[in-house]
Amino acid sequence: MNTIYAVIGCLLLLCQCKQGTVEPPPTVAALVGTWTLMQPDSAASTTLSFALDTANPPHDIVSFYVQGKGLQNTYKGRMYATVDGTMQIQELSQTASADLGQTTYQIDRSYLTKLGSTARFNQLPDGTLQLFFGSPSSGTLSYKKGR
């Protein structure tokens, strides 16, 4: 009986070791880093950064922390991506700045609405990252990775 418990214990330890060494698929791992918005409006120097959520090792779905800077506010959230290009952003929040003008506020809100409704991603051969959104209307946010 003790032998059975020893074997089960060893199997559990082996399973735990494997979880710590799981690497995200290359297409998803390439998201890690800081990206600058190029389209639809590159004048604002809006950024988006992806960092792996190491507390949740990747399996079928890879978990990331996201953060960035809009015109005057910063934002952060959580994002989930899969190897087939599916993406979902959740828990997106933004800092509030009292000195925002109405136009700046609307631009930041519009960007965050688009980012928050992202459904898919694609990385082009030239390194451009495309995020496809669908609400309130569909479109694409295009980014270039910082050096």
pLDDT one digit per residue (tens) for the chain, 147 residues: 545 433 344 444 444 444 455 678 888 889 999 999 998 876 668 899 999 998 877 777 889 999 998 877 889 999 999 988 999 988 888 886 656 677 777 888 888 889 999 999 999 999 999 999 987 789 999 999 976
- Model pLDDT, residue 139: 94
Sheet of 33-39, strand order:
87-94, 74-82, 61-69, 47-52, 33-39, 139-145, 129-133, 118-123
Residue 14, φ and ψ in degrees, nearest 5: -65, -40
Q: What's this model's pTM, rounded to 2 decimal places?
A: 0.76
In a domain, 31, yes or no: yes
Position 99: which residue type? D
In a domain, 11, yes or no: no
In a domain, 113, yes or no: yes
How many domains, in total, are found in the chain?
1
β-partners of residue 76 are 67, 93
Q: 97: helix, coil or strand?
A: coil
In a domain, 18, yes or no: no
Distance spanning both ends of the chain, measured CA to CA: 59
Q: Residue 98 maps to which CATH number?
A: 2.40.128.270
| Structural domain boundaries enclosing 120 | 24-145
